[in-house]
């Protein structure tokens, strides 16, 4: 409850600063609309916002699931196979060295303007952070427990599932929280490259017609969804790793 109150207080402070800036600088609506204009858009165009938000939310959730599954699989492969470390490791770095917005037009060209291309863009955007955090957690398992398991004759698979993976869950949770915040952004980037529906598409549509208040409403909707999704994934991660000191210290 306290965290929710803190978020509300911060949001109220930002809205007050926004309104003050518009008032003192006497900015025209096509440059920076006032919070009241944006609030009116939420009331008058709520059907349009919900329709496009539903598409972006679906793309974000599907991309999050796909990217997380790929990242977790990559982390396990890197931990258990020297061949994977040799060939998959460079691909992980490559996935981050090429910006998502540069890949998005190609993926849209290959997969079309439907949601599939946006799901893949979101998955690629979060794949690295999940894989790298999980792999790092797998490597940091307690050496004492590993030595004890080997002395007792535990197999490599038993060592992986009983020691390494449980120890890596806090690191995986951290990666998933970052991925949850980034997935809506990556989906919107895919929509900018080509779409007929979604919050990213709506922002481009509004910007081209100088409907800056509608563009801000779409942007705020995307931001709120990102915050809510991040909070839900963080809550689930803390519940699953409540035994870990990192989970108890997580704000």
Output the pLDDT for position 249.
52
- CA–CA separation, 139 and 89 (whole Å): 14
CA 153, 155, 160, 162 torsion-angle sign: negative
Output the pLDDT for position 245.
62
Tokens for 82?
């020297």
The domains of the chain, with CATH numbers, are 49-249 (1.10.3720.10)
The low-confidence residues of the chain, meaning pLDDT below 50, are: none
pLDDT one-digit tens code per residue, 32-54 = 898 999 999 999 999 999 999 99
Report how far apart, in Å, the C-alpha atoms of 23 and of each of 13, 17, 36, 116 are.
15, 10, 12, 43
Tokens for 79?
């931990």
pTM over cut 0.85: yes
DSSP 217-229: HHHHHHHHHHHHH
């Amino acid at each position: 409850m306290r965290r929710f109150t803190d978020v509300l207080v911060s949001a109220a402070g930002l809205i007050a600063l926004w309104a003050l800036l518009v008032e003192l600088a006497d900015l025209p609506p096509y440059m920076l609309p006032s919070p009241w204009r944006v609030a009116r858009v939420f009331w008058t165009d709520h059907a349009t916002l919900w329709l496009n938000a539903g598409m972006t939310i679906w793309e974000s959730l599907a991309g999050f699931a796909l990217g997380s599954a790929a990242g977790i699989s990559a982390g396990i492969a890197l931990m258990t196979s020297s061949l994977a470390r040799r060939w998959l490791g460079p691909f992980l770095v490559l996935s981050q060295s090429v910006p998502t917005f540069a890949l998005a037009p190609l993926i849209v060209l290959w997969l079309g303007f439907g949601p599939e291309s946006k799901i893949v863009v979101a998955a690629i955007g979060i794949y690295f952070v999940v894989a790298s955090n999980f792999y790092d957690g797998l490597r940091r398992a307690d050496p004492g427990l590993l030595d004890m398991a080997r002395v007792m004759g535990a197999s490599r698979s038993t060592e992986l599932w009983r020691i390494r993976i449980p120890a890596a869950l806090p690191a995986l949770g951290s990666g998933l929280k970052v991925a949850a915040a980034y997935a809506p952004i990556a989906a919107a980037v895919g929509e900018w490259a080509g779409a007929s529906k979604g919050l990213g598409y709506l922002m481009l549509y509004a910007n081209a017609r100088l409907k800056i208040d509608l563009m801000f409403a779409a942007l705020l909707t995307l931001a709120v969804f990102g915050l809510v999704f991040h909070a839900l994934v963080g809550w689930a991660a803390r519940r699953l790793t409540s035994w870990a000191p990192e989970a108890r210290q997580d704000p």
